Amino acid sequence: MSDATRSTARRRGAAAMSALAVTASFALVACGDAGGADGAKVTVWFDTQVANAEAWDQWKVFNVDPFIEDNPDAQVEAVRVAADTQDQKQRVALAAGTGPDIITTAGPSSAVGYAAAGYLADLTEVAERNDWSENILPWALDAGVVDGKLVMLPAEYETLIVYYNKSLFDEHGWQLPTDRASLEAFAKTAEAAGVIPFAAGNASWPAATEWYVSAYLNQVAGPAALYDALVGDAAFTDAPFRESIQMMKDDFDAGWYAGGVRQYFTTEDPQKYAALADGQAAMMLSGSWELYALGDYFETDENPHEWDWAPLPGLSDAAPEQIFPLGVGLTLSANAASKNLDTAISYLEWKFSNPEVMWEATETIGQAPLPVKFEESDIPAGVDPRIGRHYLEISQSSDDGAVGYVSWTSFGPELGGYVVDNADKMLTGDLTVEAFCEGMQAAHASDTEAGLVPPVFSSDS
């Protein structure tokens, strides 16, 4: 896998090329000729986990050079900032009236605070003249609306899914679990064969436990109940949410993930991937970002095993049969105080009006596509069919309204932070399930009072 495919989205910290967060080790000013930009220099800050000049060159080919070709007077300066300080430095700079012209965040949960502070320019008229409501997936565009104004654009979208070792399943004649009963039966069958049901681990990214919280809330309480809680018509202390978190803890205690809670805390990403690829584990619950990581472990000279993926199954009568909890992993906004606002907006307009460039980047460097509408025929032949099917099914679920919610998109900063800081304590038993849910509700009430709950898109699930 190219270093360019390493995601820098802080909440997920795994392996996928985002639309603008890119691996690089230096800043670059790309000068050229850009229609109507009047020579203005646009700056953007991005965080990175892997420093590699070749990766930057690859990213620039698809994310800077074509814009310069179309806009011959523009300058684009992309500035690398360390992942663990990018958000803080960006907020400090914006508070001082400076900062980048294009503001990036790890998702609406992060961006809503910028909007509340007045840092994000209103893009509502820009959206209207570009017909973005017709081209961008509705749930993803709605996630960028705060107080009736479009202030952030979804530059990376993702869902939580089940990855599995297809060769292992074929060898044993196993079927993927489709509900709670079949999941329990499968876990017994797999363990009897010496196979761990799920590869898992958060040693490389401790915040990964929020993925499981998001998954179980959707799979047990269901998206409809989650919607009610997020808009204030239900509470996270209600029975469906307590049952969701209790089931999650029970499954971890049973050793279904990594073989046990202790192993989960000490397993790093390479070990997790290897366990799935080697057949030590049967499945892996994770997000779209893993699509670009598994190629290093499957279908190689050393390991011919094949992988595949499936939607999350519902685990209760309250949940639909299949669930796509949808998230925006990266947002792009224009700095309301930018002296080069027109040029910044020109870049955003270009970004969402070049599907050919988008798909070429997906095919060539594994860059995740934008959440825009497309046909199957638009996907280049060189894109792995499993990846193409993944985004097609997300688009279909979006059209059908059959979607769920993830913490880094639909939770406010207090609630999202609470889950990250306390989910591990719940797994170890240092915090009871009831206390964890009470803390979730208190954090959500704080976000609600402060007006920091991100826009909640509707779901028919």
**CATH, residue 265:** 3.40.190.10
User: In terms of residue numbers, what domain contains 200?
Assistant: 159-325
CA angle 83, 86, 92 (to 5 degrees): 160
For residues 40 and 242, the model is more confident at 242
- From the list 456, 417, 412, 326, the residue with the least C-alpha distance to 113 is 412
All residues at 6 or more sequence positions from 277 whose CB lies less than 8 Å from its CB, including other chains: 165, 294, 297, 298, 303, 305, 307
Task: For tokens 């898992």, name the residue.
Answer: 200
Q: In this structure, is residue 363 part of a structural domain? A: yes
Task: For tokens 């609600």, name the residue.
Answer: 448
Q: Report whether pLDDT(30) > 50.
A: no
Identify the domain boundary among 282, 297, 325: 325
**C-alpha 424, offset from chain centre:** 20
* Co-location of 191 and 277 in the same domain: yes
Tokens read off for 424: 């591990």
* Co-location of 257 and 305 in the same domain: yes
- In angstroms, the CA 366 to CA 356 distance is 14
- In angstroms, the CA 183 to CA 162 distance is 12
All residues at 6 or more sequence positions from 75 whose CB lies less than 8 Å from its CB, including other chains: 29, 30, 31, 32, 39, 40, 41, 42
- In angstroms, the CA 120 to CA 440 distance is 28
All residues at 6 or more sequence positions from 396 whose CB lies less than 8 Å from its CB, including other chains: none
pTM: 0.89
Which pLDDT band, with edges at 50, 70 and 90, does 458 fall under?
confident
Q: What is the pLDDT of residues 186-228, one digit of tens each?
A: 999 999 999 999 999 999 999 999 999 999 999 999 999 999 9
Q: What is the pLDDT of residues 253-268, one digit of tens each?
A: 999 999 999 999 999 9
* Co-location of 336 and 293 in the same domain: no
- From the list 331, 424, 272, 324, the residue with the least C-alpha distance to 9 is 331
Which pLDDT band, with edges at 50, 70 and 90, does 38 fall under?
low
**Could you tell me whether strands 145-146 and 149-150 are parallel, antiparallel, or unpaired per DSSP bridges?**
antiparallel
Which pLDDT band, with edges at 50, 70 and 90, does 14 fall under?
very low
Q: In this structure, is residue 396 part of a structural domain? A: yes
DSSP state of 456: -
Three-state DSSP at 42 gives strand
Q: Please compute the mean of the pLDDT values over residues 136-161 and round it to a whole number.
A: 95
Tokens read off for 221: 């309480």
Total domains in the chain come to 2
Provide the percentage of residues in the chain whose pLDDT is more than 70: 89
- For residue 58, the model assigns a pLDDT of 82
Question: Could you tell me if 297 and 303 are in contact, meaning their C-beta atoms sit under 8 angstroms apart?
Answer: yes
- For residue 135, the model assigns a pLDDT of 94
Helices (H), 122-205: 124-129, 132-135, 138-142, 166-172, 180-192
Name which of 160-164, 247-251, 329-333, 396-400 the model is least confident about.
Answer: 396-400
* Co-location of 153 and 173 in the same domain: no
For residues 312 and 56, the model is more confident at 312
* Co-location of 21 and 7 in the same domain: yes
Q: In this structure, is residue 354 part of a structural domain? A: yes
Q: In this structure, is residue 29 part of a structural domain? A: yes
